[in-house]
Structure 1
Amino acid sequence: MNQLEVKGNWNIVKGRLKQKWGQLTDDDLDYVEGLEEELVGRIQKRTGETREAVEKAIEDSRHV
């Protein structure tokens, strides 16, 4: 999954979350998005894996 697909999927998820919980703000959701970016960066730093490999592993773990 490339960065554009990840971003598109995140936008869909954000929209669904805002539909379910209208009190969520863009700032709330941007914070969560930032945490995912931080997680990918931390995994890369610790393992030396490429960003693409880390994102694929995370995506694969969501479908288990």
Structure 2
Amino acid sequence: MNWDQIEGKWKQFTGAAQAEWGKLTSDEVDEVAGNRERLEGKIQERYGVAKEDAQKQVDAWIARQK
């Protein structure tokens, strides 16, 4: 799976994203609207991690999606 596929079907992946990053509210996940950079930014804000860490988390999450 790649980000383009996730972006195109974001509504279907919102539950998986919220399960992965439980500190994100459903409103925040909706605000992401399939934008990877926004998702990484929200992860940085909520979890207090560096940009590179957020990118690695998103990469790992993408790899697990089917």
**Same fold per TM (> 0.5)?**
no
State the TM-score, normalized to the length of structure 1. 0.43
What TM-score, normalized by structure 2, do the two folds share? 0.42
Between structure 1 and structure 2, the one with the greater Rg is 1
